[in-house]
Amino acid sequence: MKKLLISTGGGDCPGLNAVIRGIYKRAKKEGGWEVYGSIEALSGVMREPPEIIQLDNSKIAGIHVRGGTILKTTNKGNPLQYPVKDKNGNINYVDITQELADKLTAMNFDAVINIGGDGSQKISQALYEKGIPVIGVPKTIDNDLSATDMTFGFQTAVQIATDSFDKLVTTAESHHRVMIMEVMGRDAGWIALHTAIAGGAEICLIPEIPYDVKKLIDRISDRYQNGRGFVNIVIAEGAKAKDGTVISSPGEEGSEHVRLGGVAYELSRQLKAAGCEAEIRETVLGHVQRGGTPVAFDRLLATMFGVRAFELVMEGSFGKMVSFQHNDFKAVDLAEATKSYNHVDKDSFLVNGAKGLGISFGD
Ligand code: F6P
């Protein structure tokens, strides 16, 4: 029997379980493979004793409709920058990917499928360069990975955000208020942009387009004087004013990134300081966007990513990431996939079309 290891890394995302099931079912259909899962990303491989479980029908049945990941995940302990405390208690970040590769080799895995975002795929590439037969599967609700038209989890996050937005519209209308809804989107404003168009927002603020508060005041005044007397704003957590900074707080020890969140309150403060007379309320959606049942499209995307990833394993096409391009499931080199980032293009049709609807980006 050959041995395949699956890992889910970084922030969780609706559809992770559907990928795991897709891989498992395809491997089962092929026959001759045992499928294992590393607990909490590849940390399970590094632990003593290792935390690795063998997957079977009872663990897999029906999981495609469940959010989260049955393998658990973490955004701490990145093997490329592994936090090690020195004798003075200071943390130094060291590359332990060789140690990780040695462990995987010693465990006799014939293939590793690493499901994760940008950070996880950089780990996939580093392991591949050290001789590990790896395939990457792109995940993130932020949709910020290049080399794929879409990541799974994104559509679910947009649906959750749009449902929430719709609820905020009726309360904004009743009170003639300005409602600010903050969504996730660290460096890319995809969730905010799609939600603003789907929901019919007046203002959409994204990391790629720093905003001018005066322009926002103009749009709000116009809407109160000539429009319907209430305003709904969607803002991505990573958005900032032209002369401002991203609102963040330190991440937990060993975490890959600083914590974002709270820009809705900062925007509220900025609008009041700039003379906005309407009542303003803020909603920070946070992790509800990452939870619960994946929508049908994400289940399809995730399941077929899983199937395609296993087929790449069978072909022996390692060092690749599965990708969804032009309505088809392709494979791209991990090295290529991790080179750039999928930002919203401020000159794209989506942004200009949104402007054509009257949505202000504050630029
Ligand atoms: O990368 C996805 C994401 O949802 C970001 O938009 C957000 O900043 C981050 O994860 C939060 O991650 P956590 O709270 O799990 O550290």
Q: Are residues 96 and 169 in the same domain?
A: no
Q: Are residues 183 and 168 in the same domain?
A: yes
pLDDT digits (tens, 9 = 90+) for 254-290: 777 899 999 999 999 999 999 999 999 999 999 999 9
Atom of ligand 1 nearest to the CA of 191: 6
Q: Are residues 169 and 263 in the same domain?
A: yes
Q: Which of 12, 118, 142, 187 is catalytic?
A: 142
pLDDT digits (tens, 9 = 90+) for 180-203: 999 999 999 999 999 999 999 999
Residue 21 amino acid letter = R
Q: Are residues 112 and 211 in the same domain?
A: no
Q: Are residues 233 and 304 in the same domain?
A: no
Residues 201 and 233: beta-carbon distance below 8 Å:
yes
The verdict on residue 314 lying in a domain is yes
pTM over 0.85: yes
**3-state SS, residue 117:** coil
Question: Which tokens go with 302?
Answer: 């995730």
Q: Which residues make beta-bridge pairs with 5?
A: 36, 112
Q: Are residues 193 and 328 in the same domain?
A: no
**Exposure string over 278-299, b if 16+ CB within 10 A, otherwise e:** bebebbbbeeebbeeebbeebb
Q: Whose CA is nearest to atom 14 of ligand 1?
A: 259
pLDDT bracket for residue 84 (50, 70, 90): confident
Q: What DSSP assignment string belongs to 252-314?
A: PTTBSSPEE--HHHHHHHHHHHTT--S-EEEEE-GGGGG-SPPPHHHHHHHHHHHHHHHHHHH
Q: Positive or negative, the Cα torsion across 342, 162, 73, 293?
A: negative
Token pair 């989506």: residue: 350
Structural domain of 131: 2-152+294-337
Residues 40 and 79: beta-carbon distance below 8 Å:
no
Which residue ranges have their beta carbon within 6 Å of ligand 1?
11, 75, 117, 140-142, 184-186, 237, 260, 290
CATH of the domain at 332: 3.40.50.450
Which range, of 85-94, 157-166, 261-270, averages the lowest pLDDT? 85-94
Active site residue 102: no
Q: Are residues 136 and 24 in the same domain?
A: yes
Q: Are residues 122 and 200 in the same domain?
A: no
> What's the chain's Rg over C-alpha atoms?
22
| C-alpha dist (Å) from residue 336 to 97, 129, 340 | 20, 13, 8
Q: Are residues 8 and 133 in the same domain?
A: yes
Q: Are residues 227 and 259 in the same domain?
A: yes
pLDDT digits (tens, 9 = 90+) for 243-261: 999 999 998 877 778 999 9
Q: How far is the CA of 154 from the centre of ligand 1 (A)?
A: 13
- Per-residue confidence (pLDDT) for residue 251, from 0 to 100: 87
The verdict on residue 230 lying in a domain is yes
The verdict on residue 351 lying in a domain is no
CATH of the domain at 207: 3.40.50.460
pLDDT bracket for residue 227 (50, 70, 90): confident
Question: Which tokens go with 46?
Answer: 């590094």
The verdict on residue 174 lying in a domain is yes
pLDDT bracket for residue 318 (50, 70, 90): very high
Q: Whose CA is nearest to atom 13 of ligand 1?
A: 11
The number of distinct structural domains making up the chain is 2
The verdict on residue 104 lying in a domain is yes
Residues 199 and 234: beta-carbon distance below 8 Å:
yes
Q: What is the mean pLDDT of residues 212-240?
A: 96
Q: Are residues 204 and 128 in the same domain?
A: no
Average pLDDT, the chain: 96
pLDDT at 85 over 90: no
Q: Are residues 205 and 306 in the same domain?
A: no
Question: Which tokens go with 5?
Answer: 């290891």
